[in-house]
Structures are given as C-alpha cells and as structure tokens.
Structure 1
Amino acid sequence: MYGWRPHELDVPNITSNFYLIVLLVIYMSVSLLLLKDLKVACSLTVTNLLKRHGDLSERLSQDSDKTIFERLQKEFQAARATQTQEISLDGDQWNDGLLATIRERVHMEADRRAMLGEANLLAGSHSQEKITYKVGTKVICCLEGARIGIQYETSFAGEPCDLYHCVLESKSFLEKMTVLEHTIPFFLPIREAENDLLSSNAMRFIDHIGELLQAYVDRREQVRLIKELYGNQIRELYHSLPYHMIEFLLDDSEWWVFFFLLSLHLLEQYHAVNSLFLLGSFSSKFFNFFLQQDNWTTPAPARLSYAEDALRTMSLPEAYAEIVLNLPQALQQIIQPRPSS
C-alpha cells in the first residue's frame, strides 16, 4: 500500500516474509493516523490495487488459456466416451504400483500405434482396452501420445465448482514424467511441485495438486460468500490471487476495523496467523480525540481476541458473522470514557 504490497511476495517463501508483513501492517496503521485526507488517500490506494489485481486476473481469461481448457476438456470427454471400463479406487488401491501400470499402458499403446500406423488402426485393428480411473475427485485417463491426463473436480459446500486438467508425459517408461500442459491457475506453484515431487513421487505430486486446487477453491468461495452476504458492510476488500492473504475494512460508522488474514501455507485455511488491528474513525473529530482533545481515549491499534478465536475455529463466512454480531460489545469494552479533569 506504500510502495510494497503483500501480493508481491514469493508464495513458496511466504513464511520467511511473515515478520515483514507484520511490520507492514503496523506501519500502515500508524501512517493512516497521520494522514489528514485519509479517505481520499485510501480510495486512491484501493483503486490502484484493484487495477493491478485486475490486470493479473485477466491472464486467467486470456483466449489461449480458454483454448487449452476447451481442447483438453474435449479430449478428456472423448477418452471417457471410448473407455471400456471405469474403475473407482479407494484407499490403498491408489498407489505407486497402479501408477506404474498406467504409465506402462500408455507407452505400450503409443508403441503399438507407431508400429501399425494410424491407417491400420482406423481400418479395424483391435485397440488396447481403455480404462479410466476414478480416485476421489480425480479422474485419470490414458491419452494418446504416451500421455496421462488428470482431471481435477473441485467443490464447495457440496456443490461442484471448477474443473482443472494436468497432462503428464515421458519419453519412455523408464524416464521421469514432466508436466506437458495444464489448466491450473498460474499463481499456484505447480512448477515448484513438479520439481520437488514429480520425479521422486509422481503419485504424491498428483494428489498434492488436487489438494492445492481444492484449498484454493475453498478460500475463493468463502470470500465470494462474505462479499455476497455482507458486501454492504465491507468498505474495501483486497485479496491476493491465491486468496491466502486477505485484508478488508469493516465500516461501523464511528469506527473502522482493519482485518488482515494470512495463511502461511496454501493448503491451510486462515488458521495459521490472524491479526486484526482496530483503527479509529477517520473523521477530523477522531484526530482531535487521538490528540487527547476529546474526552475519549483508547489504545490504537488494538486487537480483537474474540475475532481471532473465531477465525481460527470457523470458516470465513461463519467467523465474519460472529465478528459482526459481537463487535459493538467488544468496542464498548475497548473504548472507555476518560475521567473528567
């Protein structure tokens, strides 16, 4: 907000930057108290913030991204339409041995096609049995060209949400697999996961990407829900692209409460760190009061411990409802009248 934004942090190194974030929030709180025309400054800051966020988000809807999604979606649909069997796997049935079998199957099919030629295959040669595997919310298909396709299904509150795809390939059965293409949002660390996991534990890589996507969708939908339910109470709201950092201002007419939520890991909800700072009203009367020219006094910034507890134990919409319900009483306990001299 003052030349440096939390969303510019390197996501994999977020833990090492935590103290910088805390210092930033404190600096923001003090600086806000010194601005005379705070509402204008805040409005300009949010406008610039939203513009930058919009520019980044636009990459998600570029024609090339849509083309990849549509092409892969059609390919997955065709693979499932021509399957001879779909096998649902539970627990230990999904393991490294099965993944090795799938890899062997796609390479054998690719080699057979290369030997016979497409013309002979189309003329009536019997193709290899086509099996699709269902593992929880993942669908694993054997695609042409020695490729393995994984389709990830996400949901929120029991309702289906987005579909994502990841296609793996390897030059031979003995060589490591690589990510050929995918429709996973660019801000999720798929390349880091590929470097760390795919060559050593491909099954763990596949599961990890599914966990990342579901956690992202959970956070995104929680933010969408509080905007839908309580948008008229929220003055400004900012979130990082993976929704692992959120900050917003709750306008209580006399007071504004600044919320900063941080998830130190992209697989976690907002339970790792939850810091809230209470800021006074941004009116001229407030500045007089803060200079002790009024007859009220309060620590600023102050923390709302009950709100932090709610954020640790509830989903974001539930915690928000709890915070708003108990905010007037909490403010009364914090703001005490100063004895008359």
Structure 2
Amino acid sequence: MGEVNFMQEEDIQLEITRARFSDVLKRHGELTERLSRDADKVVFEHLQKEFDAARVSQTEDICLDGEEWNDGLLATIRERVHMEADRKTMPGDTNMVPGPHFQEKTTYKVRSKVICCLEGARIGIQYETSFAGEPCELYHCVLESKSFLEKMTVLEHTIPFFLPIREAEIDLLSSNAMKFIDYVGELLQAYVDRREQVRLIKELYGNQIRELYHSLPYHMVEFVLDDSDCKVTASLRYADLVSVVPTRIRVLAWPSKKNIINAATLNRTESGVLGSLRIPARLSYAEDALRTMSLPEEIVLNMSRELQHIFHHQSPS
C-alpha cells in the first residue's frame, strides 16, 4: 500500500504541474492570437479595399491553368505595371488619351490565387484558402520593384507572422518570382488545413479531449484523450510547413490508475505485473490511420475495442 500511496502523491503533483502549464499555454495562445489579429486588421482592410477596387475596374478576367501560368506571363504583368506607372509620371501626358494597351486592366486567376495589377508599379496576389470544400480566409501579398530590371520585394502582406514569408522572399523571390508566389500559396493552404483539422477534432470529440497543445503554425500537435480504462496521448509532427499529413506520429495508451492500484493491492509487484502495466502500449492502428488521412475518426471510434484487447492481455490473471 505504500507503493500505491507514493504513486497517488506523484500523480497529484503531476496533475498540479500539468494544470499550471496548460493555463500558461492557453494564455499565451490567446495573447498571440489577439496581437496578430489586431496588427493585421488594418492592413487587411486597406488591401482588401484596394483589391476590390482593382477587380471592379478590370476589363478582362482570365483563368489560367497548367502551363499558362509561367515566368513569361509574370514578366508581361511586371512590364505592364511599370509601363503604366512610367506613363503616369511623364510630364505633359496628363491630357493624353491612353491607347488600348493601357486601357486594358486584366485580372488573372490561377487556381486559388488572384493576381492584380495595382497602382504604383505593384503586383498584388490574393490567396483564397479552403477546407473540405468550404472557403476560409483571404490573404494578400503585394510585390513591387523600382524598375522592370530590378528584383521584386514584398512591400506588404497579411500572411501570419509565424509563416516564413521573409525567408521565402530571400530564397526565391529574387531568382524565381513565380515559384515564390506558388510557395506562399502552398504555405497558407497547408496551415489552414492543419488548423482546421485540429478545430474539427475538437468539435467532434471535445468531451473526450482533456488537453490539446499545438505550435502556432500547427506543425506540432499533441493531445490527450480520456478513456474509461486509460489515457491516450497523441503526438504529431509534420516534416515541413507545407505538409498536411503528419510524418512523425506517436500514439500511446497509458493504463489507468485503477488498473495499477489493483495490481499493487494484489501484491504482484514482484512478479513484474505492476511494472508492465505502467509501460504504455503503442496504438499502431491509430498511427497508421494518421499517416494516410487528416485526424481520422477511426482513432476514437475503434479505441475502446483496441484498448480492451491490449490491456486484457496485460491484466493480471
């Protein structure tokens, strides 16, 4: 019974520490979200108005697919915005009627991206995100360059601060602007996918989820599921920020205090039963499911049967 009392005291201390840590993480997450939302709100409203105005004034809307979206087209867009900007700054041109070429205002739609020519030799990209076929947030990125021959830079954007847009700008924008534009779109969609997966599982199984932690970009996720017979911990790691399915997964089932205490009261500690009961069991079926789909329902739906099978063989006879 001394062993049982020690285990109970140890569990109490762990629960106190866990509760304190959980409260700190919750407050940190709320503060981060509020600061990010408030800082981005003004920029978002300003850019959304500018993009809406560009869409209203357009004379042509072109949908591109596959090879139609290429470096040559992006170069044409860049040339057009610079020619228009130069024309407006040339003296004596205020009363001149622009030719047909300058009157054209084209918006390009490339899958989930909308590319607009903005005032002041700027190119705007609006990213549309979605989850399970339903639209989610819009994000913006505005590129500019001092001349057609100079490299483009990111002027302003509404992309979450924890996604590496500045690193992508350094690595890609100067050498391959099209690849940069596509990569930012992949970053945003993958982030929304991971975030919405976590939101969905919280909605579906909120009463069974005891704790849930995640990094800001949701590329590290951990949660605890409470079952009547045990506690299940899941740890998910994604290879990079454009991954939607986790690559490193660990799902462990820990025996309940009741099972451990019963084994101790039966005086079977010396036989190794207590030790074996305190070792968690891996739920391979859950790990396999997580490798092929997004936080699948099978993890919870099949859990009771799997746990009963596992701990039935470990329980003292």
Q: Structures share a fold, TM > 0.5?
A: yes
Q: Would you say the 8 A contact 1:244–1:270 is kept in 2?
A: no
CA 1:125–1:237 in 2, change beyond 3 Å: closer, same or farther? same
Larger Rg: 2
The alignment partner of 1:37 has SS state of helix
The equivalent of 2:16 in structure 1 is 40
Partners of 1:176 and 1:287 lie apart in 2 by 68
The equivalent of 2:202 in structure 1 is 227
The Cα shift of 1:330 comes to 1.7
CA 1:117–1:51 in 2, change beyond 3 Å: closer, same or farther? farther
Partners of 2:220 and 2:156 lie apart in 1 by 28
Q: Would you say the 8 A contact 1:298–1:334 is kept in 2?
A: no
The alignment partner of 1:323 has SS state of helix
Q: What pairs with 1:150-299 in structure 2 (closer than 5 Å)?
A: 150-281=125-256, 283=257, 286=260, 289=263, 293=267, 297-298=276-277
Q: State the Cα deviation string for residues 269-291 of structure 1 (Å, max 9, x = none).
A: 2331111222233x477467479
Structure 1 residue runs of 5 or longer lacking an equivalent are 1-30
CA 1:224–1:286 in 2, change beyond 3 Å: closer, same or farther? same
CA 1:286–1:308 in 2, change beyond 3 Å: closer, same or farther? same
The Cα shift of 1:224 comes to 1.1
The alignment partner of 2:103 has SS state of coil
The one of 22, 37, 44 equivalent to 1:69 is 44
The equivalent of 2:3 in structure 1 is none
Partners of 1:311 and 1:32 lie apart in 2 by 33
CA 1:292–1:58 in 2, change beyond 3 Å: closer, same or farther? farther
The Cα shift of 1:116 comes to 4.5
Partners of 1:287 and 1:60 lie apart in 2 by 47
The Cα shift of 1:131 comes to 0.9
The equivalent of 1:13 in structure 2 is none
Partners of 1:144 and 1:40 lie apart in 2 by 57
CA 1:292–1:145 in 2, change beyond 3 Å: closer, same or farther? farther
Give identity over the alignment, percent.
Answer: 62
TM-score by length of 1: 0.82
Q: Would you say the 8 A contact 2:113–2:125 is kept in 1?
A: yes
Structure 2 residue runs of 5 or longer lacking an equivalent are 1-6
Q: State the Cα deviation string for residues 63-98 of structure 1 (Å, max 9, x = none).
A: x31010000000000001001111111111100000
The alignment partner of 1:104 has SS state of helix
Q: State the Cα deviation string for residues 193-235 of structure 1 (Å, max 9, x = none).
A: 1111101110000000001111111111111111111111111
The equivalent of 1:96 in structure 2 is 71
Partners of 1:247 and 1:32 lie apart in 2 by 25
CA 1:33–1:140 in 2, change beyond 3 Å: closer, same or farther? farther
TM-score by length of 2: 0.88
Please say if 1:301 is aligned against 2:277.
no
Q: Would you say the 8 A contact 1:151–1:163 is kept in 2?
A: yes
Q: Would you say the 8 A contact 2:246–2:290 is kept in 1?
A: yes
The equivalent of 1:18 in structure 2 is none
Answer with 288-297 or 259-268: which moved more: 288-297
